[in-house]
Amino acid sequence: MNAPAANSRLPAVLYALDGTRRVDYRAVVKMAWPLFVQFGVQAFLNVIDTWFVGRLGSESIAGMNAVNFSSFTLLLLFGGSGIAVQTIVAQRYGQRRKGRASQAAWHGMYAAMLVAPLCVGVAIAGQDIFSFFGLPANVVAAASDYWLPRMAGGGLVVISFALGNFFNGVGRTRISLMGAVVTAAFNIVLNWSFILELGWGMYGAGLATSLSVAGGVLFYLILFFSRYFRREFATTRTWRLRPAILGSVLGLGIPIGVHAMFDVGSFAAFQLMVGKLGTVSGAATQIAMILTSLGFLPVAGLNFAAATLVGQSIGAGDKAWADKVGTAAVKIAFLWMVMWAVLFATLGGPLSSVFVSAGDPDAQAVIELGAALLFIAAGYQLFDALNLGCLGCLRGAGDVVVPTIALLVLAWLIFVPLSHSLIFAEGEGWVDFLPQYGMGARGGWIAAFVHITLLGTFLLYRWKSGAWRKREV
């Protein structure tokens, strides 16, 4: 048997006449571009959300700043099991055990049912949560209005993760892209209806987001139960609850969710600190976060593509190829972020101006601060590419515990305390035992620069060390 036939299960591989292998970058891009565009659609959706909320004024944008990463923190914590589905599905698909792949998707949905009541409880506690952090009363009101319907729909988000990552894991990334487009279309229409036409304000924005996720879940379910997937993956015959499989999904998903909680949660704390400074700092930070998401969310799509490529390679029994193809995905992420680093460094002011109303009395101050924050953010874009790209590779290999521990240390022992010290002046902060330098929002973004640089460097080292080769899923 010749080399290509013997290794036909490997993804994105090209063979020379002498049997040597190289990465087929066209195949990597073919798998990655739907995920890249899918997360780009999510970034665009965030931009649209912020634009609609911006019609309500800078106070509403500041409220979204307070709630944005806070909601992501809990949704990703609860949704780790849905994300874990991709790793399990990719490896089972690489082993050609297609029924086991759809079985993992079912158990991801069962995990969603377990966390749905927790999401509702957190949704109801929104006002108490934001009041605890000492935010201005108007910001608390805006944030709480958005938080209630957004978090109440958390179970749907986890189901969406599970189904979308089933399609990602089997390499059908265009389906997850179409699901994102369906969700975005629902969201735009519902935002326009609820915010502008019905005047439901921030509550309407949160409700629109949750209902749009429901539309995306319905789309995924229709395809999951379609004739092709019933025939190829036995999707209607693998629904029975198996405690051992649920345990595997949760066993991998809990570290993934905790990692996301530590990561996004540290940025939620950072945003809450900035929000305490008032409307201008909160609004400028929200705008800068949304604009930087145009760079990092598509790379998050490459993160998921890397997980699939690595997982399928390991499932096919070739960890050396997993190393090579995963590194190729990281290189693509790095090139993408170079472009955004240049844009943020040179066009921060014009980009920020899109999100404020001309009649807003704080408009000019928000634009000027937003430009300064984006200039700082330009400095860490390349390290964010390493962070997201290498994390996807490690997740595809099932190596999630050590990256989680590293993130815990970097995020909560360095980033959050450093943000507090640099943001607040004496007597302004949450605690008094840290030094306080009073640099405002700029100080928080400098702390983010330090954090992402250190994290990206560590994850690159972890991936290239090959320690993940010892993992089994």
Q: Residue-wise over 380-393: b if at least 16 C-beta within 10 A, else e?
A: bbbbbbbbbbbbbb
The DSSP element (H or E) to which 120 belongs, if any, is helix 98-124
Cα–Cα nearest to 310, from 16, 32, 46: 32
Q: Is pLDDT of 73 > 80?
A: no
384 pLDDT exceeds 50?
A: yes
**First and final CA of the chain: distance in angstroms?**
29
Whether 272 shows a pLDDT value over 90: the answer reads no
CB-count burial class (<10 Å; 0-12, 13-18, 19+) for 358: exposed
Section 386-396 average pLDDT: 93
DSSP 331-372: HHHHHHHHHHHHHHHHSHHHHHHTTS-TT-TTHHHHHHHHHH
How far is 467 from 455, CA to CA, in rounded Å? Answer: 17
With a threshold of 0.75, does the pTM exceed it? no
Look at residues 348, 291, 295 and name the one whose alpha carbon lies nearest to residue 54.
291
What is the residue extent of each domain of the chain?
Answer: 3-470
Q: State the Cα–Cα distance between residues 66 and 182, nearest whole angstrom.
A: 27
To the nearest 10°, the Cα dihedral for 267, 248, 216, 154? -50
Give the pLDDT of residue 259: 80
Distance from C-alpha of 55 to C-alpha of 431, rounded to nearest angstrom: 35
Cβ neighbors of 298 (< 8 A, separation 6 or more) are 36, 37, 39, 40, 43, 336
* Residue 386 confidence (pLDDT) above 50: yes
pLDDT of residue 313: 92
| Rounded average pLDDT over 49-72 | 71
pLDDT digits (tens, 9 = 90+) for 5-47: 445 678 888 888 877 899 998 888 888 888 777 777 777 777 7
Mean pLDDT, the chain, integer: 88
Q: What is the mean pLDDT of residues 410-421?
A: 95
318 SS3 class: coil
Average pLDDT of the segment spanning 255-281: 85
Residue range 275-328, pLDDT digits in tens: 888 889 988 998 998 899 888 878 887 888 898 899 889 988 899 999 999 999
Residue 203 pLDDT more than 60?
A: yes
Question: Mean pLDDT across the stretch 336-344?
Answer: 94
Q: Is the pLDDT of residue 470 over 80?
A: yes
Least confidently predicted of 26-30, 112-116, 421-425: 26-30
- Greatest CA separation for the chain: 74
For residue 1, pLDDT beyond 50:
no
How much is the pLDDT for 3? 45
Q: Please report the pLDDT score of residue 65 as a whole number.
A: 64
pLDDT at 329 over 60: yes
Q: Output the pLDDT for position 69.
A: 64
Quick check: 268 and 65 in contact, CB under 8 A?
A: no
Mean pLDDT over 438-449 rounds to 96
Residue with the bigger pLDDT between 347 and 290: it is 347
